[in-house]
Homo-oligomer: A and B are copies of this chain.
């Protein structure tokens, strides 16, 4: 659909704009190395590209700026993967070199290095709690009527939840309950817990534990975990380095978005597979209509369990971000698989 020359020019314009943040004129492109055409020729092509919707003109006598469609085409067809710089590579490898034993720590470090290397905001989504497998459960009474349920997963994650104890329950009963649970439910993924309890444990409990109905009810609660702390956000202020975000109102909208974990989860947790780039309004959120988001899932043993992502201006260094993101997601996947995949 686009001629080779148009692709070349579009690519040059976007490269230039990403670098300068200023509308790009025909002369600038004409003078670029490897472009053997006069500014007039470029001008004609630019007019065509604008007509086709790949470029926009802020005003008559300004240069051109890529449109969403332009970026889309650039990302889908024109980008070539960029090698990660020695320095960045070194820093990234550093993260994976440390022996990290808790999954959360690994994810957190990933988020940090990602933001540090790209100079954009990183958002990383940890695995849904439900995917973890039970390692140990414990119920610690705090008072007559309350207790904390503690769930340790095979990933080293510790989740806790406050419970209301059934009236008049005896501590011994709780202990019995916990013993049964630990004996029967180790290595069961959390999402199966409820089901397994009713199928396999209920019978046994009825025999051994008083007030087992109430206890069961209480337990269900403790398996409902917060989604909120799955999100790791790093470098939130980085967007303020961008010249197109010198406006406090824009920044405010974005920072307010960052305060809402549920929104961030929605933003990353897309059904699609593989590396994804969402440009400008494609995100659907008004606050980030001038931002792009690049995401890619990471895996344990072939199963996608979370998402790493970068949020930056639409005028983002897509080639670098994509390379780094891809590399990091692979590294993280390998590491987590080695550490946590069921043997």
List chain A positions with a Cβ less than 8 A from chain B. 101-102, 135-136, 138, 140, 142, 146, 148, 150, 152, 154, 156, 158, 160, 162, 236-237, 240-241, 245-248, 251-252, 255-256, 259
Contact = CB atoms under 8 A, between A and B. Distances in A.
Copy total for this chain: 2
A160 B162 contact: no
A337 B331 CA distance: 49
Given A246-B248, A247-B248, A255-B240, A138 B150 contact: yes
The secondary structure that dominates the A interface is mixed
A102 B140 CA distance: 13
Closest 6 CB pairs of A and B: A158-B160, A136-B140, A240-B252, A140-B152, A237-B255, A246-B248
Given A152-B160, A247-B248, 11 more contacts: A101-B142, A101-B162, A102-B162, A135-B140, A136-B140, A146-B156, A148-B152, A236-B255, A237-B252, A237-B259, A240-B252
A156 B150 contact: no
25 contacts: A101-B142, A102-B162, A135-B142, A136-B138, A138-B150, A140-B152, A142-B152, A146-B156, A148-B156, A148-B158, A150-B152, A156-B162, A237-B255, A237-B256, A237-B259, A240-B248, A240-B252, A240-B255, A245-B248, A246-B248, A247-B248, A248-B248, A248-B251, A251-B251, A255-B255
Contacts of A251: 240, 248, 251
A142 B152 CA distance: 9
Contacts of A138: 136, 138, 140, 150
